[in-house]
Chains A and B, each alone.
Chain A
């Protein structure tokens, strides 16, 4: 269904009525009554985030340009998560640069080893992100916070620097693709399968320069919503955004005390395309090398042997992800010749996993349990692949060389598929290992 907008820019009431949720947030932050797709605006920022790879470039560029003040030290968050605990001397140098900058400018929100989590797991957890806010982060998966109804998007280091100096960013107002979810997810199927399916449907540039607006989410847990919003960038989207409902408010309770504004989806918004996903029909889905849109059903893949499994990342490093994996691994052992690396997304997730006995499940099953880090997802450290090696990973990208050697391969999957595959040593749908368990194998 295509809804066309005959838009007269002078007719403000009319354009307000037709704005998407994203456009309403942007208009408010630009001090405008309304905005239209394609319009270039300057928007006020509620938060600017950077990490140990991107912040050093921003800091160096700020210094080079002679910009020596920040707009608001409390609205800047620096997270040392990519190469930490530091993998080599050069990355240690990057962290030194960030710590020094934070000290100079009175930035207290610095998350270092011991307090650190993967940024997109950590920031919502610590209450830095609220509905209706505008957030930029020098990391492409900053779109994660759309799960809470915020406009959040990934930018580069220069935009981060500009944001830190001025509290502003320029944006081209995006048009939107709407996603309507029908039904409920079946057992063994999760948010990761939803987003991989959607990326397969749209293609890696199918939502380029656009928002993905999820019109309803009652069937999805908060963690599923984070996973889905997190990978909006993998179909090129500027942001992904969810409604704010009772589940969102429950999540925000105890994390956020400040006021926030929730903008409704425009009933008559100009969605160029509306995609419907029947959740009941989804099955465990994987993205084959070397593109997230190269999707297939796990059960259809045949005998694809693997040497490594990674369970974690900003996409799937939350407590419900670890619970799903642990349920499959409990009382069993990973296949011989498979290295299974489990990485809780934050200290809180790690502690919760300990309290619930999940840590013991993983270690007894022969997994390596790591401190939070982005590590292997981007081929940084903690699980680099050699030529000819294959990994099933709950991360978000499977480009050439993403996790190591250009001759290695990454299959993207849910925590359930990853855990099931760790048990068999080949890409496996969770239904198969559940069946094995029922049969006492």
Chain B
């Protein structure tokens, strides 16, 4: 009998240790200490033993039962902890759950990047109404009275307010520059500010022409501001947009509100300046006008051009964003088409 119990002890210990799962352990438990288990069978034989043996064997059998119970509990806990919380056939290649979609418009994204860059240089952000007057869209900006941009084939005038002159003639603003005079009239120089926003022109639209577009303009006004310092502003913009050092050049250009005025070119990013189809073989791409505010503009802002000077840059953000991402149709920006917009995160 003793021998039987000793054998059971050894085989039982081995089977508990080998049980690989909770379910298997349950079976092992039943076969060892269950109602019809091996130990129960032995215990059923005890009454038939001699009284001398009976007590001792009974004690041994009970001790073995406790022993198995402890082992099974320990093994059970071990199996529970090493068991996976997820089913064994879980497919690891299923994609992750995406975070909520949604994004800023690609032009807003670029605008905020530039705002951050200019704010770090101490610039304020300014906004004016998109409906403005001829006084602010043209007169203050040194546009001659007969300038073609003042006509309805270029500018969207407001019906019923399109016949007067100056402050009474209203339009959707054709450029941002008028806002600079609004700012200067209400802020003491020296000042530095950006005033990004939408502008509108009466155009026939195609892949390269839009009626609504987004400009980014910046102005510094100070006592001393040699035009060569304007290059710093230009480079701040481009390095931010393109994320790397972009060679620029300033060349002669004419715009009524600046004197001297510049066309500012950047090196063609496609060919690196060696000439290609994108830059019409010249290696440079015209990206923005800029220059020193014309004395008449400073006067319109109530500033003395003898005392103050400055530098403007005016970026067509649509075009830069098109170049940045390789977008080939400017009309997509105002299309509200999610197939397009959702590509920019």
- Answer whether A and B are interacting partners: no
List the interface of chain A (C-beta within 8 A of B): none
